[in-house]
Structure 1
Amino acid sequence: MSRAPGGGQSGPDPARDAPRPDGALVWGHATQPDHVDAMAQLAGRLRAQRPGVTLLLTATPEAPLPETPRAGVIHAALPADRAPAVEAFLAHWRPDLCLWAGGDLRPVLIAGADRRGVPLYLIDADEGALGRSGWRWLPDAQRSALGRFMAIHARSDAAARHVRRMGVPERDVTVSGVFREGAVALPHDEGLRAEMAEGLRGRPVWLAAMVQPDEIGLVLDAHRAVSRLAHRLFLVLVPDDVADAPDFIAALDAGGWRYTVWSGGAMPEETTQVLLADTRGEMGLWYRLATITLMASSFGAGRQGRDPNEPAAHGSAIMYGPNVRRYLDSYRRYAEAGGARIVRDSETLAAALGQLIAPDRSALMAHAAWDVATTGARVTDQIVDLVQDTLDLLEAG
């Protein structure tokens, strides 16, 4: 989207946008890339607890929206910060409440929503975004805009101090932490997990998840190299598309591997080297069995990676390839915390795997990933509760 005069984005006129859906409509505004994913996850959490709720998502150019919205999410252009555009936007969408993330406040838009009685919440309030240079010449405008929010959730103590200096009462400011996509544990069959764990008898287990056909060789080469030193090493191999299972079976046959195909119904034996997990809906089981996970679909030009929050939520150390553009911010966050490690080819994958099969190393890395993942989840929990409470009050009249 291109910048439009008045600080908004060019885009469809609200009258030509999708119609407003029935039911509650939560308007979320993202000012950073992390906010886009976090808002989409928030929408999923809300819909699980309150079927029929929809998230209307707008964003600044610095936080581009994906081409395809997730279920329960509508993408819309942010109107220019001028009265006619603001009134058209608000009249069309009639949001029940607004979650404005970060900063980069739009005073005309915020004032217009407040006049219409839309409950406004500033979440992930960021001192840098709120204190950007343009506001130095308009301190009264910022004070006025901040004063229209019912509550402000700051990402840090410094952000909270900045907001209070701008005249917001202390009772309206909470330090919640950074609003980012958090990790949610996937369902699994605990009885089956316990049975498999017993059958593997303490063998080191690693998982190669969301593997593309052209990544099979890289994964199996690394597995073979490390197996020479740790002969009981066990690999759970998950295709990104289960329809590609015949390609995986052909590669396993060609390499002379002792393997089990999960869809065949057999359990791995003591001598099994690879389990081909060619069914859907069981990632929660595989993440829990593996102490180390390679998030594939991340090698080769054009790849974008897969979500690192999944293994982090289940206590698994994370390895990943160089092409993770779709989740780059998340991987950077995990890597900086010591919970994820980049590998570039079969040699570096084998080297990393050889180090991480030591239980103390993988446990340290998994714990670091878990800390990052659960922090994001806690903040999302607080915002879900805030939205639920507000919608309950609105429905009660």
Structure 2
Amino acid sequence: MSARSRLSALLGRPARSGDDTVAATRTPQRPQGELVWIHVTGTARRSPLLRLGQRLAELRSGLALLYTSGPDVAPPPRLRGDAIWQPLPADTAAGAQGFLDHWAPDCCLWSGGAPRDDLLHAAAEKDVPLFLVDAAEEDLERRGMSWLPVLRRETLARFDAALARDAAAAQRLRRLGMPAESISVTGVLQEGSGPLPCDEDDLERFSTILAGRPVWLAAMTQPGEVPLVLQAHRAALRMAHRLLLILVPNHPVEGDTAAAALEAAELRFARWSERQIPDDATQVLLADTRGEMGLWYRLAPVTFVASSIEPGHGGRDPYEAAALGSAVIYGPNVSHHLDAYSRLVTAGAARMVTDAASLSSAVTNLTAPDRAAAMAEAAWSIVSAGAEVTDRITDLVLDTLDLGQAA
């Protein structure tokens, strides 16, 4: 049984005809093993799709990711693991064939609308499973979708399934000729984050040591932000003298610089990289290690997500804190995660600060447990909504890859 026939059984509908052979690539640029191709349409979808790809790579050992986009979507500053970002090929039969021969994807997620007919036709001929994800009504009414009815139906028929944002998008897909049994309404694909892991023994130990103390976290601080954070902490200590700051530099190598700033500020601190344990007199825990953010987010009901006041860094992912029940404070320079912060602010789950005074005020305000809890609950609702759609697509892709291996 071909991979497409097995996939059709999974989706519960007849297979379409096509070549059962996936073209093998001889170019060394393609990573070995399975490769999922994810096409990004629109800047707003970039972060959610990157997170989706990251989730797939976490769950599938050796999986490589190929992202493509049009000229309106810029590549991200960094890509993790075996991830590659490429422009789409020329919209010709030869361009499509060359692209698919080169990359030989095992599965394609095409986001939004404006499908490329030559490319999708060639992918279908090569038996590449194709899924239209996050389909929105406005995508399906773009000028690029104004084809002759027969071309609409032929193009949409190449997709094995479509995941629509809402009932309106699903209805539009049906009117364009896609079979109802191929369409699912999943909701909007939004960036979310699964909970980061932590060492349970360390969590239990710190939870006991810090019991009853108000705690806040400054995560991923740039060296130029550390003095501002310490100034804010010193001011907040006047209102809550037992308040503890967990200070995490953006890179562990910046620990010495942060320690020097703490000494200059005459704040009593413990240094976790030297396995120093805070006591009742400790005012700051300098967490200059790597891979332990899951621990710090769990301990702190309030997080200042740094690399966001000093310009030029683009901010850091706020969903990591939100997924672990921490209220989010951030600075104005978050261009790399603007959509995420906008969603959190709209939900009342994040608060922006601009300087030491506003940061101190926000921290002092949120040390009241009920206020931090209200923000954290709003943040969780955003994160969990994004996670549900991501999980739905993740399951579909992993099932498809399993079917391909069994073919």
Residue 139 of structure 1 and its aligned partner are, at CA, apart by 3.9
Match of 2:279 among 256, 259, 269: 269
Q: 1:258 aligns with which of 246, 256, 268?
A: 268
CA contact (8 A) 1:97 1:119 kept: yes
Counterpart position of 1:219: 229
- Kept in 2, the 8 Å contact 1:40–1:73? The answer is no
Counterparts of 2:240 and 2:269, CA distance in 1 = 17
2:383 counterpart (346, 357, 373): 373
3-state SS of paired residue (2:225): helix
Q: Establish whether residue 163 from structure 1 lines up as the match of residue 178 from structure 2.
A: no
Secondary structure of residue in 1 paired with 2:224: helix
Given the alignment, which residue of 332, 336, 350 partners 2:360? 350
Query: Could you tell me which amino acid in structure 2 is paired with residue 167 of structure 1?
Result: G
- Residue in 2 aligned with 1:4? none
Matches within 5 A, 1:74-223: 74-136=84-146, 138-223=148-233
Provide the secondary structure at the position in 1 that maps to 2:87: coil
What amino acid is aligned across from residue 302 of structure 2 in structure 1? I
Q: Over residues 3-25 of structure 1, what are the superposed CA-to-partner deviations in whole Å (9 max), with x where a residue is unaligned? A: xxxxxxxxxxxx99863333222
- State the alpha-carbon separation in 2 of the partners of residues 91 and 236 from structure 1: 51
Q: How much has 1:291 moved relative to structure 2?
A: 0.3
Query: Deviations along 1:340-364, whole A, 9 cap, x unmatched?
Result: 1111111111121121111111111
Amino acid at match of 1:174: S
Partners of 2:243 and 2:161 in 1: CA distance: 52
Alpha carbons of structure 1 residues 17 and 101: separation in structure 2 relative to 1, 3 Å? farther
Preserved contact between residue 107 and residue 142 of structure 1 (Cα < 8 Å) = no
Pair 1:137–1:278, CA change in 2 (3 A): closer
Secondary structure of the corresponding residue to residue 382 of structure 1: helix
| Structure 1 residues 260-315: Cα deviation after superposition (integer angstroms, max 9, x where no partner) | 11123232111211111112221111000000000111122322111112101111
| 1:232 Cα deviation from its structure 2 partner | 1.6
* Equivalent residue letter for 2:160: M
Aligned in 2, Cα 1:241/1:68: closer, same or farther, shift over 3 Å? closer
> Alpha-carbon deviation of 1:199?
1.7
Shift of the alpha carbon at 1:48? 3.1
Is the 2:47–2:337 contact (alpha carbons within 8 Å) kept by the matching residues of 1?
A: no
Which of 312, 316, 322 is equivalent to 2:322? 312
Matches of 2:356 and 2:27 in 1, distance apart? 48
Distance 1:210 1:158 in 2: 41
Unmatched tracts of structure 1, length 5 or more: 1-14
Equivalenced residues, count:
383
Structure 2: distance between partners of 1:102 and 1:129? 6
- Between the aligned partners of 2:146 and 2:254, the Cα distance in structure 1 is 57
CA drift of 1:150 comes to 0.8
Q: What does the per-residue CA deviation read over 1:18-38, in whole Å, with 9 as the maximum and x for residues that have no partner?
A: 633332221110102243333
Amino acid at match of 2:362: A
State the shift of 1:323 in Å. 0.8
| Deviation per residue, 1:362-396 (Å, 9 max, x gap) | 11111111111122222121112111111121222
**Paired residue type of 2:379:** A
Alignment equivalent of 1:66, drawn from 67, 76, 87: 76
Identity over aligned pairs, percent = 50
Amino acid corresponding to residue 113 of structure 1 in structure 2: A
CA-based RMSD: 1.9
Which deviates the most, 280-289 or 125-134?
A: 125-134
Work out whether 1:35 is the aligned partner of 2:67: no
- The residue type equivalent to 2:380 in the other structure is W
Give the C-alpha shift of residue 235 in structure 1.
0.6
Q: Tell me whether 178-187 or 315-324 shows the greater mean CA deviation.
A: 178-187
Is contact 2:51-2:193 (8 Å) kept? no
Unpaired runs of 5+ in structure 2?
A: 1-24
Runs of at least 4 residues off by over 4 Å: 15-18
Aligned partner of 2:392 among 377, 382, 387: 382
Q: Which residue among 250, 260, 267 is the counterpart of 1:240?
A: 250
- The answer to whether the 8 A contact 2:71-2:87 is kept is no
Q: Is the partner of 2:348 in helix, strand or coil? A: coil
Mapped contact 2:314–2:336 kept (Cα < 8 A) = yes
Cα distance change of structure 1 residues 157 and 211 upon mapping to structure 2, 3 Å threshold: same
**Greater relative CO, 1 or 2 (CA 8 Å, sep 6+):** 2
State which drifts further: 315-324 or 269-278.
Answer: 269-278
Distance 1:312 1:203 in 2: 21
Who is 2:307 aligned against? Answer: 297
